[in-house]
Every structure is written in structure tokens, then in C-alpha cells.
């Protein structure tokens, strides 16, 4: 992502190094925030065997409800988790709509320019290297934050975008959706030598040939496939615009749909949105082409509902891509919630009572409603003919998020209400802090091959000895998860 004018002034490099320097984002590394409470970016350690030698950082908003979505966000070359968090706008929507964000971070030990290795088949394929490390981060986050495993999404910029495409191909059983920002098709290059060819020119492959690269990444998998957003600037000279077209060809072929858009519309910042629907008429692939935008992530600083982020090197003031990506995924309460019906959102949604295992809700009646759908964490959990509902089977001392939508006599679902949170009563899960040896002796963990793993979750804890200490939280009888950042 380093501009060409700067690259020409640098001492001549080998062709392979030049291919990587093209993906450099010219920001200085910012020291990530230290581990802290919810509402701050914090490092998470001991998330697995970490074959890709990555670092894991996470942001969790205060009062994060159980069953919330999880977003994984990958930075560009020479960037860090903290500057991507600071500029990209994901924090705003995590706070507003209630989800956790995980930021994998690579460094110079892996690549001299701190690029994710989207071009290396030994590091970007299922079960290997950096891809495997990201999967371990997802597993850890799901256990630690109680996130919904059916609503895990991944996004990335430039080299992080190339790795995002690879992860979607490697783990379609893990990621419900993705967003490739100024990135490249999955498995476009499998060696470093081939990287520059992908960046600067088309590969002249058919949609089926592109789709075959995805299908070969996890042989035998037949779906469901992730819903994919693609962001590409028309004036990008580092990752040329043909990559956006090739990504469109790749993922529409995987979905078994054509390359003719189902709908198009103009957005702010000179952006054209092209939507490609699946067989059920639901958006499966979205291509956002930003006229005149060079290489970088599209942001739009401001306080508007559809604005986000801050400008900087390779954070370009055009449109808030994070907002449109999040709404494409349904993180704003779309997706399973609400519908195309004409009924307004129910007003006055409140929590009228809680127990150790349940929460009771009430709301104002909507004229014309034949019933109401109730959603917990974005997923429908029940329906009611009246204006109250009791959700049961919940965990004690846990926070949940609820919304409600009215349903008319034809079954059409109206707009979704504003969310409320309910916290069940009872004792919070118990936590235990001690060394790995004593955790095993107490029956909260087990050891294999000299390494320690939490009982239940099987999260990696490091060597089986007294020199390594962790906090384990018992979320259900006999099921323990790492809780080093707080119980």
C-alpha cells in the first residue's frame, strides 16, 4: 500500500520484495492497549498453539450480551491491531449494536512488512499457519464472550483482505460472512513470487475457475456459504480494480448465481452498490465500487448514523464501509430480525422481571398486529399474540439483548424495536486463578503431551507446570473457559 512515488525512491529491491511493498500501509505501528476492562482494546494471550505466530487483540463493549455476533478484523501491511481499531469505525458499531471484535495482528517476525501471508499456501490454508491461528482466536472468543457461533464474520484491508478471502474459503463452516476491502480473490497466489501478478493484473480465469479455488480449499464442503461484501476503489494502483471483479466472479460462482447484478444503487462518496441475490432472493454477494478512490479502507468521519472512522494514511474519506458491511451482514438488527412488512416497530419495550433462568418482556401494542416475534441477540426465540413474553432456559447472572417486531395477519414482519438488555439473577459463574499444575490437580483442566487444556472448552493453556498461571471460569458444571482478562 506504499505509494509508487515513494517506492521509486527506495533502494532497488528484489522483485519478490517489491510485490510485498506494494501492500504496505504507511502508518507507524501503534502500541496496542494493555489488557483491561470491557470497552477497551486488550490483548488476549494463550488462545491456542498459535502456529501462525500471531497476536490476538479484542474489543468488547460494556454489558456485551450473551449470544452476540463476533467480528474478526485484519489490518494491512505495517499496520497494527490498535490503529485499525482506531481508524476503521468498528468500535462505533460494536458499541451501538452489541458485538465483540477480534483483531489478529502479525508482525515483522512473520513478514518484514508485517503483512498477512495471503500468498503463501503453507500459511493461508485450512489448519495451517496464520489461518489456523485465526481459527483458534475465534474458538477462544466464542468461549470467552459467549458469542453466537452462527454469526461470526471476518473483514480485512489489503493484505488483510487477501487473507480474509482465504479464510472464507478455508473455513466456510466458521464464518457466516466476510468483507474484502481493497483485497484479492481467495487463493489468487499460492507463492510469494506470484503475488505481484495478482495485485497488478487480471488472471484471465472464468468464474468457475475462481469458484473452484474456493471449493478446493475445503474439499467436500457443500454449504451454506458465507455472504461476501467486496470493496474496491476505481483508482487503486496497488490492488487494481480487476480484483474486485474477480472476487465478484469467484463468490457468485460459489453461490451458484450469475454475474449480473440483481439490483444496483448509488451511495455516498461516489459509491455504486451492486447486489447479487441467492435463489431465495436474499443478498449473497455485494460489490461496492468507489469512484476515484485509491488504495485503502473507505471511511467517513462524522456523527451521522452511517458515518464512521477517522482518516489517515490508507484510511480514505469517502464512505463508511464498516457501516454498510455491518448492515449487509445484519449486525444492525437486520438479517433474521424484522422484515418487509409495513407495521411500525413496537414502542415501549421493557424488561418487567428476571429470574436465574428467565426474563419477562412487555411492550406497547401495534395497531394491525396479529402477533409479535421476539428476538434474543438477533435470533428469533419465540412469538406472542399479546404484548408480553417470558424467555426461559437462560444462564444465571448473564446479560441478554432483546428486540421485538410486529407481525400482520398475512405473516409479514414489520420493523424491529429498539433493543433492551436483561440480566438474569443468581450467582455469577465461579472463577479460579492458579497455576496450570494446580488447575489440573483440581480437575478444572487436563494435560496432554506436557501441555495443559481447560476441561470442557479444551482451550490451550500452555505448559503443564507451576510457572504459568491462568484464570478459569466455570460457565456450566465441568465446563471451563479462559478468563484472564476478567471473570
Residue 158 a catalytic site member: yes
- Catalytic member of 88, 114, 158, 401: 158
Model confidence at 15: pLDDT above 60? no
The domains located in the chain, with CATH, are 4-329 (3.40.50.1820), 350-423 (2.60.40.10), 431-482 (no CATH)
Range with the lowest mean pLDDT among 111-125, 289-303, 315-329, 465-479? 465-479
Range with the lowest mean pLDDT among 16-25, 150-159, 268-277? 16-25
The pLDDT-based confidence of 6 (bands split at 50, 70, 90) is very low
The pLDDT-based confidence of 67 (bands split at 50, 70, 90) is confident
Tens digit of each residue's pLDDT (9 = 90 or more) over 253-311: 999 999 999 999 999 999 999 999 998 888 999 999 999 999 999 999 999 989 999 99
pLDDT of residue 334: 56
Average pLDDT, the chain: 88
Alpha-carbon distance values, 395 to 323, 354, 426 (Å) = 31, 11, 9
Model confidence at 398: pLDDT above 90? no
**Residues pairing with 270 in the sheet:** none
Is the pTM for the entire model greater than 0.95?
no
The pLDDT-based confidence of 125 (bands split at 50, 70, 90) is very high
pLDDT of residue 20: 37
pLDDT of residue 141: 95
Tell me the Cα Rg of the chain. Answer: 23
Contact 228, 183 (CB under 8 A): no
pLDDT of residue 72: 98
Mean pLDDT of 147-166: 96
Contact 170, 138 (CB under 8 A): no
Q: Which three cell numbers stand for residue 268?
A: 455516498
Tens digit of each residue's pLDDT (9 = 90 or more) over 179-198: 999 999 999 999 988 999 99
pLDDT of residue 65: 85
Q: Which three cell numbers stand for residue 419?
A: 433493543
Mean pLDDT of 110-123: 95
Amino acid at each position: 500500500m506504499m505509494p509508487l512515488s515513494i517506492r521509486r525512491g527506495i533502494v532497488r529491491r528484489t522483485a519478490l520484495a517489491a510485490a510485498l511493498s506494494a501492500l504496505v500501509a504507511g502508518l507507524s505501528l501503534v502500541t496496542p492497549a494493555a489488557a483491561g476492562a470491557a470497552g477497551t482494546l486488550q490483548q488476549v494471550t494463550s488462545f491456542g498453539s498459535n502456529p501462525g505466530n500471531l497476536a490476538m487483540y479484542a474489543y468488547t463493549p460494556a454489558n456485551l450480551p450473551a449470544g452476540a455476533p463476533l467480528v474478526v478484523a485484519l489490518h494491512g501491511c505495517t499496520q497494527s491491531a490498535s490503529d485499525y481499531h482506531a481508524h476503521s469505525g468498528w468500535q462505533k458499531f460494536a458499541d451501538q449494536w452489541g458485538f465483540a471484535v477480534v483483531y489478529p495482528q502479525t508482525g515483522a517476525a512473520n513478514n518484514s512488512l508485517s503483512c498477512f501471508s495471503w500468498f503463501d499456501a503453507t500459511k493461508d490454508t485450512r489448519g495451517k499457519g496464520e489461518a489456523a491461528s485465526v481459527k483458534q482466536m475465534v474458538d477462544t472468543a466464542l468461549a470467552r464472550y459467549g458469542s453466537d457461533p452462527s454469526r461470526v464474520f471476518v473483514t480485512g484491508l489489503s493484505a488483510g483482505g487477501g487473507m480474509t478471502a482465504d479464510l472464507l474459503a478455508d473455513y466456510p463452516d466458521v464464518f457466516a460472512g466476510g468483507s474484502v476491502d481493497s483485497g484479492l480473490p481467495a487463493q489468487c497466489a499460492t507463492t510469494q513470487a506470484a503475488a505481484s501478478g495478482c495485485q497488478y493484473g487480471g488472471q484471465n480465469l472464468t468464474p468457475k475457475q475462481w469458484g473452484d479455488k474456493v471449493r478446493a480449499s475445503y474439499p467436500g464442503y457443500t454449504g451454506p456459504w458465507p455472504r461476501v461484501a467486496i470493496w474496491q476503489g476505481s483508482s487503486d494502483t496497488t490492488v487494481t480494480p480487476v480484483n474486485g471483479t474477480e472476487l465478484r466472479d469467484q463468490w457468485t460462482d460459489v453461490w451458484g448465481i450469475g454475474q449480473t447484478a440483481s439490483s444496483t444503487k448509488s451511495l455516498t462518496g461516489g459509491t455504486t452498490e451492486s447486489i447479487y441475490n441467492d435463489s431465495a432472493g436474499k443478498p449473497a454477494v455485494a460489490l461496492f465500487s468507489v469512484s476515484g478512490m485509491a488504495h485503502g479502507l473507505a471511511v467517513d468521519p462524522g456523527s451521522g448514523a452511517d458515518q464512521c472512522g477517522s482518516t489517515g494514511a490508507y484510511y480514505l474519506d469517502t464512505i463508511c464501509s464498516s457501516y454498510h458491511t455491518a448492515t449487509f451482514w445484519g449486525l444492525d438488527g437486520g438479517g433474521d430480525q424484522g422484515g418487509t412488512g409495513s407495521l411500525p416497530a413496537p414502542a415501549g419495550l421493557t424488561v418487567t422481571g428476571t429470574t436465574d433462568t428467565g426474563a419477562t418482556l412487555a411492550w406497547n401494542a401495534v395497531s394491525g398486529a396479529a402477533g409479535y416475534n421476539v428476538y434474543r441477540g438477533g435470533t428469533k426465540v419465540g412469538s406472542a399474540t399479546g404484548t408480553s413474553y417470558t424467555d426461559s432456559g437462560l444462564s444465571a447472572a448473564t446479560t441478554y439483548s432483546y428486540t421485538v417486531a410486529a407481525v400482520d395477519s398475512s405473516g409479514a414482519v414489520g420493523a424491529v424495536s429498539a433493543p433492551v438488555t436483561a440480566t438474569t439473577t443468581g450467582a455469577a459463574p465461579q472463577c479460579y486463578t492458579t497455576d496450570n499444575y494446580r488447575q489440573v490437580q483440581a480437575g478444572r483442566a487436563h494435560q496432554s503431551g506436557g501441555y495443559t487444556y481447560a476441561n470442557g472448552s479444551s482451550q490451550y493453556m500452555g505448559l503443564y507446570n507451576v510457572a504459568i498461571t491462568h484464570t478459569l471460569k466455570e460457565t456450566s458444571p465441568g465446563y471451563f473457559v479462559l478468563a484472564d482478562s476478567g471473570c
